[in-house]
Structure 1
Amino acid sequence: MNSEYAPVVITTLNRLDHFKACLESLEKCTLADKTDVYVALDYPPSDKYRAGWSKLSKYLHKKETSHLFKKLIVVRRERNYGIKFPNSNSRAIVADVQLNYDRYIFSEDDNVFSPNFLVFLNKGLEKFKDDDRISFICGYNYPMEFPKSFKNNFYISKHASPWGYATWFSKEEHIKKYYNLDFLKQLLKDKGSFNKLMKYKTSTVYSIINMIKNNIVYGDSARGSYICLEDKFCVFPKISKVKNIGTDGTGVNSKSKNNKLLDYNLNQLVDASESFEFTNDIFTNEPEMLIRHTPPKPLVKETYKKLIGKIDLFLFRHFNFVPKSKYI
C-alpha cells in the first residue's frame, strides 16, 4: 500500500473549462510531481452532453502525454455511471484506487486549488491517521472571522465540506452503511438519531428527505450524518485551500445561475502560500466566537424549500409517505 502521498481522484463529464482550470491548478501545487492523479471521465447520458465530453476527452489525450504529475491515469467509461450511489462514477474510481493506496484525495471538476493544497491534505492525513476522532481533512473553508485569541492555522469542526477533501480507506469503512438509503430512512424514524441530526445537522435531515424522494444517495449528506451521529470531526484550514467555480448553473447540483452566489465563490480569497506547517495544537476545536460568512441565498426560494421540507418530513416520519414535490 502506498501511503506516502495520497492520490487525487477527479470525476468529470463535459465541462472542459471547469476541468481544465481544476487540473492545471493542481499541476501548480507543491508535491504535484510526487502525486498520482486519477481522472474518471464518465460517458455522456444523452446527446446534449456529447460535444463537451468529446472536447474534454481530446484535452485529456493531450495531457496524458505531457503533464506535471507523477502519473496521470485516465479512466474512460464505456457507459454512463452517473452520480447514483453506490455504483456511481466516483465510487467506482475510488474502489479502483483502494487496491493500491490506503488513503486518497477527492475532488469534483469545478474546484481550483491553492499552491499548498496537496501539502495541507497530505500532512493532515499523516498527522491525524491514528486519531479516531478525525474522519476527513477538508481543503475548502468558508470566509471566516476568527477571534483574536485564536492563533492556530487550522481547527476541528463537525461541519464537513466536499470541495476537495481527503480521507483514509480504513476510516471510510465505517461510513459505508450511511450510503444505504434504507439505513438513512431509519435514522429519520429513530427518535434519538433524528433529534441529534435536527440539533446539529438540520439541513442534512431535509437532504435525506430529498434523497428518499429521488431514490438517490448524496455522498456529502451521508458523510455529514455519519460525522454528526458518530461524534466524528473534520480538520479545516483557517484559510481556504480551494475555490469553487462551479456554481454557475452548469453542474448537477447547480442547475440555475445565481450571480450573487457565483460572485461570492469567485471572489473568495484563498491561500497563496506554497507550503504549510500545522501549528502545535493537535485538537483545536472550532472557536465559539468564529463568524462564518456563508453564501447568499434567495429568501423566497429558501423559505419555500423549508416549508415544503417540513411538510414532507412530517408526512414521512408519521405516515411513511413522501410526496414527489421538488423543492431543491
Structure 2
Amino acid sequence: MLAPICLFTYNRLAETKETVEALKKNLLASESHLLVFSDGAKNEQAQEKIKGVRQYLKTIEGFKSIQIFEASENKGLANSIISGVTNALEQYGKVIVLEDDLTTAPNFLNFMNQALDYYETIDVVQSINGFSPEIKKQNMFDVFYHTRTFPWGWATWKDRWDADIFSKEKIKKEISEDKTILMNLQNTCGSDITKMLLDSINDKNDSWYVRWVYAHFRKQTVGVYPKYALVNNSGFNENGTHCKAINPYKSVNDTDFRNKVQFNFNSQVRIDPIINKQFLRYFSKEYRVLIRLKLLLEKGGLKILLDDIKSKI
C-alpha cells in the first residue's frame, strides 16, 4: 500500500497551487490518498487569503482520494503538523508530508514509497527525506544518511513517531538533567541547532522541526537522503511565514536522477565522515555569515566581492 500524502496549507494560494500541480505530475499521484490540512487564520487579514486557498483546495483532482481538514482556529504550523501527522499515522501507519511551498520531481513519490518499504524494518532509520543539499562525494547507492533530518518533504512510520517526543517540558527536563546534551547536539547536527531548539521550547519560535531533529539525536537514529534533491522550496519570499530571506542550501536537480523509477538503497546504514563534514558545513556559522553577505551584496550590486563569496559557498 502506498503511503498517504499529508499536505499542510495556510494562506499562500500561488505557492499551494504550484505545490499541488507538481504533485499531480508525480507518477504515483493517481494511486495516492491526499490529506490536506488547512490551518485557521491568525487574524482578519489572513481570513480572505485562507478562503481563497480553501476554494482552490475543493477543485483538486488527480489523486485516489482527497480529504480536506479545515481548522476553525489557528493552530500554528507546529501544532498543525504534529496533530495532523499523528492522526494520519493512526489510520495509515506511514505518511509522506509536504508543506505548501514545496515543488516535487515526478518521481518524488516513487522514492519516498520505495524508501518507506525498504527501511521499514531497519529501526535506526527514523525518517525519509525528499530534499538533499549538494553533496559532492558520490557512491554506488542513491542515498546517504544523517542524524539531522530535514523538513522539506519527508516521511515516517507510526512506530517511529510519537507526539510525546515534541513535548517542550520533556525536552527541558532532559537538558536540565544532562548538561552535555546541547554541546553534543551541536557537534552532531550543526552550530545553529541549539539556539533553534532553545527558542522552540521557550516559545520564541514555532518550530516542530527542531524537536524532530532532537528526537533523532536522542534516539541515535538517522534520516535517509536522496543523492540529489527531489524537492525545491519556493517559499523564500515576502509571503513566507518562516522563510523571508534567500534559500541558503545549494542543491542539485539532476535530470537523470529525477527520471529514475527504481532506486538503489543501502542496508548498511552509517554516516559517512566525508559526507558528514560537507553536510554540516551548511549549518556552520561561517556559511551562514557568507549567505547573509551574499544577500546584502546582491542588493548593493557589488559584483566583484560577490563573486569571491560565491566561490566559498
Q: TM-score range by the shorter chain?
A: 0.7 to 0.9
Q: Match for residue 67 of structure 2?
A: 73
Residues 194-273 of structure 1: pairs in structure 2 closer than 5 A: 194-201=182-189, 202-214=191-203, 218-254=207-243, 256-258=244-246, 261=247, 269=253, 273=258
Structure 1 CA distance for aligned equivalents of residues 27 and 65 of structure 2: 15
Q: Match for residue 169 of structure 1?
A: 158
Structure 2 CA distance for aligned equivalents of residues 30 and 77 of structure 1: 30
Q: Given the superposition, is the C-alpha separation of residues 96 and 177 from structure 1 closer, same or farther in structure 2, using an over 3 Å criterion? A: closer
C-alpha contact (below 8 Å) 1:114/1:271 kept by paired residues: no
Structure 2 CA distance for aligned equivalents of residues 194 and 284 of structure 1: 25
The number of equivalent residue pairs is 284
Q: Per the alignment, in what secondary structure is the counterpart of residue 62 of structure 1?
A: coil
Task: List per-residue Cα deviations over 1:124-157 (Å, max 9, x = no partner).
Answer: 111111111010011110022115xx22111122
Q: Match for residue 57 of structure 2?
A: 60
Structure 1 CA distance for aligned equivalents of residues 231 and 291 of structure 2: 30
Q: Per the alignment, in what secondary structure is the counterpart of residue 170 of structure 1?
A: helix
Question: Aligned-pair distance for 1:58?
Answer: 1.5
Give % identity.
20
**Unaligned ranges ≥5, structure 1:** 303-328
Larger displacement relative to structure 2 (41-50 or 30-39): 41-50
Q: Give the letter aligned to residue 283 of structure 1.
A: Q
Q: Given the superposition, is the C-alpha separation of residues 280 and 121 from structure 1 closer, same or farther in structure 2, using an over 3 Å criterion? A: closer
Q: Give the letter aligned to residue 76 of structure 2.
A: G
Structure 2 CA distance for aligned equivalents of residues 32 and 198 of structure 1: 38
Structure 2 CA distance for aligned equivalents of residues 24 and 82 of structure 1: 25
Q: Match for residue 113 of structure 2?
A: 122
Task: List per-residue Cα deviations over 1:222-262 (Å, max 9, x = no partner).
Answer: 111111122101111101110111111322212x333xx38
Q: Per the alignment, in what secondary structure is the counterpart of residue 221 of structure 1?
A: helix
**Unaligned ranges ≥5, structure 2:** 294-313
Q: Given the superposition, is the C-alpha separation of residues 280 and 207 from structure 1 closer, same or farther in structure 2, using an over 3 Å criterion? A: closer
Residues 1-328 of structure 1: pairs in structure 2 closer than 5 A: 4-63=1-60, 67-84=61-78, 88-147=79-138, 150-173=139-162, 176-189=163-176, 190-201=178-189, 202-214=191-203, 218-254=207-243, 256-258=244-246, 261=247, 269=253, 273-279=258-264, 281-290=266-275, 291-292=278-279, 294=282, 297-298=288-289
Q: Give the letter aligned to residue 112 of structure 1.
A: T
Question: Aligned-pair distance for 1:268?
Answer: 5.1
C-alpha contact (below 8 Å) 1:179/1:217 kept by paired residues: no
C-alpha contact (below 8 Å) 2:200/2:210 kept by paired residues: no
Question: Aligned-pair distance for 1:283?
Answer: 2.1
Q: Give the letter aligned to residue 126 of structure 1.
A: D
| Alignment root-mean-square deviation, CA | 2.5
Q: Per the alignment, in what secondary structure is the counterpart of residue 192 of structure 2?
A: helix
